[in-house]
A and B are shown apart, each in its own frame.
Chain A
């Protein structure tokens, strides 16, 4: 028997025609219940504001229920539900004004029906669908399923085109770089003349320190001698060629070439981020501070991902003094790939002072004022982040927080999702007592894309910058930086 169901609200009418093949007419009369509709043959959805209506079969109904239900949740929470917008027979999206919505439906003959709804009309559509879903006598297999969407979709406040900007500019600069590099000759790998000598020396078992000082005029005599030696050994070369740089590790000379040829990182902001990363890395790994009895100075070369590719002792610091520092543990042997990629290098002067303080400065100083990467400008978002930051910090900064009577002032960079991705002490007390604050524990640089695994310690996500003052007695103040 055929069954008809209708759900009415002031602005929307949903009408279902269907049947139940297993039902004999007298059955329902006997039980006194409405007959159960188990198959739907036609669905129509009419709107009071429009001559147009939507219609279709079961597929259309499924799609309508899903899109309407998801979009209803989106309007309630303000957080987009991706499923409502995905390509489907029925889609719902925001209209041209905040209280307007657009319902789009594909008809079976390939046409598109657009219906504009205001919020009241939309609500009636949501409720008509809910009424149908909760009707146990009509298609009981179709039920309302509500699930919250994941945190990943929360970045709702920034328009998509703005979020795409870093990506677009990244792809753009890659393309430009690719075009420019196309015109550069492929660097030929030439094995230096004196390699045989070196190879022989190595076979002799002499230790070749990776931080060999570069050749100076005084060394020229030695070099000549080495060259002569090389000539003598020319015959041996054929039998015993020097190790080709095929493996991951590269020789000291290649490293030297890398360091001299590498393009220096000069952008003050990049230098600053690498410096902060190095500081955390080195300071965090410098355990035995008492072992350092005199200032130890090193020139440290690092790549954009914060890897220390080389270091050498400077300012009368004995070369072996690195054993007292965490540098040997942190040194990261660059690979052949790094050479081919001609990774840019930043040099820093790193001083381990005898009173246990770490100092890091760019070797060549800053050429300009470092910034803090991309910043969030939307005042609404900033205010929200600021409030969230206060809540977070108040929860963890209590009366036990020791300030020794000082105000500890920091600059703190926070991502849109509220993660503290960057911070920097702003006064001496903050520098000294950083470890007493909750900041080191709360820091998640990865949230802003500051991630060695990702290949860069320069943030890819915009951040809001705030001044945070930890005060005695568990008080904390947050203001825009």
Chain B
């Protein structure tokens, strides 16, 4: 029996209102909320993670628990609501993320990305190879699987009435490029300073 079994099974420490891990991300001056563009980038990165690993959203919830982020993301519905701040979504809520909420999602993205480092590197190497040899992306099984899943997720969740979404849905090549661009962004999240890099990059072109 493990040690934790000696505690009553329903015993839970009260979660901290402001999880400590969020302090690893700097508070940027003159920033008190997130723009639609930030909501969109965060949700798309999460979408790419889902395309990388089956059951991705379950892993995200598990990560939230491991990193003591339950006060912000306590269940599936909360996670879904936070992701619906992406204006491209069919179920766009028109509400915004608070800074702690956005930080929590960034922490989850970079943590998941770090665990998927090998796969991400593998796929990008495959992409480089196919590009160098002028081969179609479908040539590489694992890469085409990622892109195919990403396209399916994108199609089923994004609102085709948005002009930008329609553009992606209309041009498969553009959507493939988006999938690869997101994979590249995830790669940059896997480094030692990946979490901070992603967080600060979200505000590029947003601050005065």
How long is the Cα–Cα vector from A73 to B196 in the complex, in angstroms?
10
Contact B36 A391 (CB under 8 A): yes
Which chain A residues lie closer than 8 Å to B124 at the CB level? 119-120
Within 8 A of B (CB), among A338-390: 379-380, 382-384, 386-388, 390
How long is the Cα–Cα vector from A210 to B177 in the complex, in angstroms?
65
Q: Which of B13-21, B135-143, B148-156, B184-192 contacts A (4 or more CB under 8 A)?
A: B184-192
How long is the Cα–Cα vector from A228 to B165 in the complex, in angstroms?
80
Kindly name the residue among B87, B191, B205 whose own CB sees the greatest number of chain A CB atoms within 10 A.
Answer: B205
Q: How far is the CB of A157 from chain B (nearest CB, A)?
A: 11
How long is the Cα–Cα vector from A126 to B70 in the complex, in angstroms?
32
What is the 8 Å Cβ interface bit string for chain B, positions 152-192, against chain A (1 contact, 0 not)? 00000000001110110000000001001100110110111
Question: Contacts A73-B200, A77-B201 given: A387-B162 contact, CB under 8 Å?
Answer: yes
Taking CB as reference atom, which chain A residue is nearest B166? A383
Which chain A residues lie closer than 8 Å to B128 at the CB level? 99, 118-120
Additional A-B contact list (17), CB under 8 Å, known A120-B121, A148-B28, A394-B94: A72-B188, A73-B201, A76-B201, A76-B204, A77-B202, A99-B184, A119-B187, A123-B191, A130-B197, A133-B193, A146-B196, A148-B202, A148-B204, A150-B207, A151-B205, A391-B36, A391-B87
Question: Contacts A76-B185, A383-B166 given: A149-B204 contact, CB under 8 Å?
Answer: yes
Report if B93 contacts A (CB, 8 A): no
How long is the Cα–Cα vector from A156 to B163 in the complex, in angstroms?
20
Which chain B residues lie closer than 8 Å to A395 at the CB level? 94
Q: Which residue from B87, B131, B191, B200 sits with its C-beta under 8 Å from A387?
A: B87
Taking CB as reference atom, which chain A residue is nearest B128? A118
Which chain A residues lie closer than 8 Å to B191 at the CB level? 123, 126-127, 130-131
Which chain B residues lie closer than 8 Å to A146 at the CB level? 26, 193, 196-197, 200
Taking CB as reference atom, which chain A residue is nearest B88? A387
How long is the Cα–Cα vector from A126 to B189 in the complex, in angstroms?
11
Contact A134 B188 (CB under 8 A): no
Which chain A residues lie closer than 8 Å to B80 at the CB level? none
How long is the Cα–Cα vector from A134 to B125 in the complex, in angstroms?
27
What is the 8 Å Cβ interface bit string for chain B, positions 15-39, against chain A (1 contact, 0 not)? 0000000000010100000001000
How long is the Cα–Cα vector from A144 to B200 in the complex, in angstroms?
12
Which chain A residues lie closer than 8 Å to B205 at the CB level? 77, 79, 148-151, 153-154, 156
How long is the Cα–Cα vector from A127 to B26 in the complex, in angstroms?
19
Which chain B residues lie closer than 8 Å to A391 at the CB level? 36, 87
Contact A383 B163 (CB under 8 A): yes
Report if B7 contacts A (CB, 8 A): no
Q: How far is the CB of B175 from chain A (nearest CB, A)?
A: 12
Q: How far is the CB of B201 from chain A (nearest CB, A)?
A: 4
Report if B208 contacts A (CB, 8 A): yes
Report if A141 contacts B (CB, 8 A): no
28 contacts between A and B (CB under 8 A): A73-B197, A73-B201, A75-B188, A76-B185, A77-B201, A77-B205, A78-B181, A99-B128, A99-B184, A119-B124, A120-B121, A123-B190, A134-B193, A148-B201, A148-B202, A148-B204, A149-B207, A151-B205, A151-B208, A153-B204, A382-B163, A383-B164, A384-B164, A387-B88, A387-B162, A387-B163, A388-B36, A391-B87
Q: How far is the CB of A304 from chain B (nearest CB, A)?
A: 31
Report if B206 contacts A (CB, 8 A): yes
Contact A120 B207 (CB under 8 A): no
How long is the Cα–Cα vector from A61 to B128 in the complex, in angstroms?
29
How long is the Cα–Cα vector from A395 to B164 in the complex, in angstroms?
19
How long is the Cα–Cα vector from A33 to B28 in the complex, in angstroms?
34
Contact B192 A131 (CB under 8 A): yes
Contact B167 A379 (CB under 8 A): yes
Which chain A residues lie closer than 8 Å to B36 at the CB level? 388, 391
Report if A97 contacts B (CB, 8 A): yes
How long is the Cα–Cα vector from A390 to B165 in the complex, in angstroms?
13
- 8 A-B pairs with the lowest CB-CB distances in the bound complex, closest first: A148-B203, A77-B204, A154-B205, A127-B191, A76-B201, A383-B163, A77-B201, A130-B193
What is the 8 Å Cβ interface bit string for chain A, positions 73-89, against chain B (1 contact, 0 not)? 10111110100000000
Contact B163 A130 (CB under 8 A): no
How long is the Cα–Cα vector from A147 to B163 in the complex, in angstroms?
31
Report if B198 contacts A (CB, 8 A): yes
Taking CB as reference atom, which chain A residue is nearest B131? A99
Taking CB as reference atom, which chain A residue is nearest B159? A387
Which chain A residues lie closer than 8 Å to B197 at the CB level? 72-73, 76, 126, 130, 146
Report if B146 contacts A (CB, 8 A): no
Which chain A residues lie closer than 8 Å to B88 at the CB level? 387
Which chain B residues lie closer than 8 Å to A81 at the CB level? 204
Contact B164 A387 (CB under 8 A): yes
Contact A134 B192 (CB under 8 A): yes
How long is the Cα–Cα vector from A119 to B120 in the complex, in angstroms?
12
Q: How far is the CB of A31 from chain B (nearest CB, A)?
A: 24
Which chain A residues lie closer than 8 Å to B28 at the CB level? 148
Contact A148 B188 (CB under 8 A): no
How long is the Cα–Cα vector from A153 to B187 in the complex, in angstroms?
24
Taking CB as reference atom, which chain B residue is nearest A132? B192
What is the 8 Å Cβ interface bit string for chain B, positions 63-86, against chain A (1 contact, 0 not)? 000000000000000000000000
Which chain B residues lie closer than 8 Å to A73 at the CB level? 197, 200-201, 204
Which chain A residues lie closer than 8 Å to B166 at the CB level? 383
Contact A383 B193 (CB under 8 A): no
Question: Contacts A73-B204, A151-B206, A156-B205 given: A144-B163 contact, CB under 8 Å?
Answer: no
Contact A119 B184 (CB under 8 A): yes
Q: Which residue from A144, A156, A380 sits with its C-beta under 8 Å from B167?
A: A380
How long is the Cα–Cα vector from A147 to B184 in the complex, in angstroms?
20
Which chain B residues lie closer than 8 Å to A388 at the CB level? 36
Which chain B residues lie closer than 8 Å to A382 at the CB level? 163
Q: How far is the CB of B172 from chain A (nearest CB, A)?
A: 15
Contact B188 A130 (CB under 8 A): no
How long is the Cα–Cα vector from A81 to B203 in the complex, in angstroms?
13
Which chain B residues lie closer than 8 Å to A127 at the CB level? 190-193
Contact A123 B204 (CB under 8 A): no
